[in-house]
Amino acid sequence: MWTDENRRLYERRGPRYPSDLSDAEWALIAPLIPPAKHGGRKREVDVREVMNGVLYVLETGCQWRALPKDLPPKSTVHDYLMLWDWDGTLERVHHALYLMTRELEGREASPSAGVIDSQSVKGAEKGGRASTARAMTRARRSRARSATCSSTPSA
């Protein structure tokens, strides 16, 4: 029988999953997430649950389709992740948490020095970033096949 004592005994307190945000963690992140856009339909999804879904996928490494049913749909979680990546929200959250972590450790918020080892220097000498730039650029199209370019002069 469900008595007050039994309810307290079986009540689920705390996070459902180890990756879920605590109230204190959410209080740090919530101001950094942009509000819903003005106009149109109101936001129906709980953004904290969306963030819990993102963190669940990142921590467990599961496929999007394996996202538990008690979290928002996989398409919603993925769409918010892509939006937050595009608009810089993820970068702002990371930067704020990075600075806070450094301050909690008793360090200055931003590092004052960096260390480069010989392996990093050797990797940079072999082309590092320059060699990837060519692979990242769009292929050039031949002008000979272009419909907008013709060899006959226009009148």
How do the domains of the chain map onto residue ranges? 1-31+44-108
Q: Yes or no: say if 56 and 71 are a contact pair by the CB < 8 Å rule.
A: yes
pLDDT at res. 48: 94
Regarding pTM above 0.85, the answer is no
Q: Which of 19, 13, 26 is nearest to 68 (CA)?
A: 19
**Per-residue pLDDT at 125:** 67
Reading the chain (155 residues) residue by residue, the pLDDT tens digits are 677 777 766 665 667 888 888 888 899 999 999 998 888 888 899 999 999 999 999 999 999 999 999 999 999 999 999 999 999 999 999 998 888 888 888 888 777 777 778 777 776 666 555 544 554 455 555 555 545 544 555 55
Q: Which amino acid is at 135?
A: A
How far, in Å, CA of 64 to CA of 26, rounded?
23
d(CA 76, CA 51): 11
Q: What pLDDT is recorded for position 137?
A: 55
